[in-house]
Amino acid sequence: MQTCRPHSRRPLRLATFAIAAGLLCGLQGVPSTAAAQQRDPTRTIGETVADRVSRHYTFERFEVASADGTRTWRVHVARPKAPAPAAGYPAFWMLDGNAALIEFDEALLAELAARPVPHALVFVGYPNALRIDSEARTRDYTPFAGERPQRDGTTVSGGGGADALLEVIERQIRPELEQRVTTDPTQQTLWGHSLAGLFALHTLYTRSGAFDTYAAGSPSLWWGDGALLGAPEQRFVANNAGRPARVLIGLGEGERQVAHRDLSDPRVQVHLRRIEAAPPDSAEKLAQRLSAVDGLQVSYREFPRLTHGPMFRASLMWALHMVTGIADHSDTPSRAEGVEPVR
């Protein structure tokens, strides 16, 4: 397993996490600026690269709906203007597609397009202007039911729609995508952050061959009382049978720490109770276990001082770097600086 901790010569480690009498002992010195700000569920995406003419990519979008018409997804596709290889373009898929669009600008598109074989970009989002659609993503990205903390300190049960979304991806989104851009079925990456990172791991476990690279940024391993760390992982390890895949797992050093949190906030208190099911070294230990599975190439990276919100961009930029070969922009600021996605 590859592990890395940039800008540091110290051994890789995760910050100590302890819960006692409802209090969390956390890393000192985590920045309390942008990452500490309250999440805004009404934040909209504004104008993005998909709304402007690019010299390097052509953007299209389409929508697909569930069979009963109650759920709809909006997909933005960015096709390189360079000629397609004989096998088609490699494809880089992003969940939370609305928010992911914010992280791209023309300079990044130019860098991606300049690669010897540029990637097609696929943004799977929702048909609204919200940066993060918390209700929809909780429904779609979770493989089993669980509880989600609310802003008033209560919880709401829900989720369990991951398999339904996987069916939509395979049976509706992929065929529609291929009408617009030919992609190489052997070079497909799926990236997601938080609950979407959980979805990426669930896809690895249950849809062998759907993608060849699975990138999970700050995966919400606590969801469903840590259920993904139990039987689903064990079944995958027992049955993978050497099938090749690449796995990227990233986590911010400052995640699940309280130096930047208001412990009097009922929502924070509820969330801290939820994450007790997944200790802070869960992601690193998961990467270690997966690295022992025949056929898997696993890389784990800890991002110094970053908390959950900034990890959205950091993990996306790291995955783009690892998969496409562009420079690593994981330490550059987000256009959505100061807003954390709802977990």
| 81-107 per-residue burial string, b: 16 or more CB within 10 A, e: under 16 | eeebeeebbbbbbbbbbbbbbbbbeee
Give CA–CA dist 26/18, Å, rounded. Answer: 8
| C-alpha span between 330 and 320 (Å, rounded) | 9
Q: Select which of 56, 119, 308, 329 is catalytic.
A: 308
User: What is the C-alpha separation between 72 and 237, in angstroms, rounded?
Assistant: 34
Q: At what angle do helices 195-206 and 231-239 cross, to 10 degrees?
A: 40
Task: Given the residues 147, 253, 255, 284, select the one marked as catalytic.
Answer: 255
Residue 294 CB coordination number (10 Å): 10
255 is catalytic: yes
DSSP letter for 51, please. Answer: G
CA-derived radius of gyration, the chain: 19
DSSP character at residue 277 = G
How many other C-beta atoms lie within 10 A of the C-beta of residue 151? 14
Q: Within its chain, how far is the Cα of 142 from the centroid?
A: 12
Could you confirm whether 308 is annotated as catalytic? yes
Known catalytic residues are 194, 255, 308
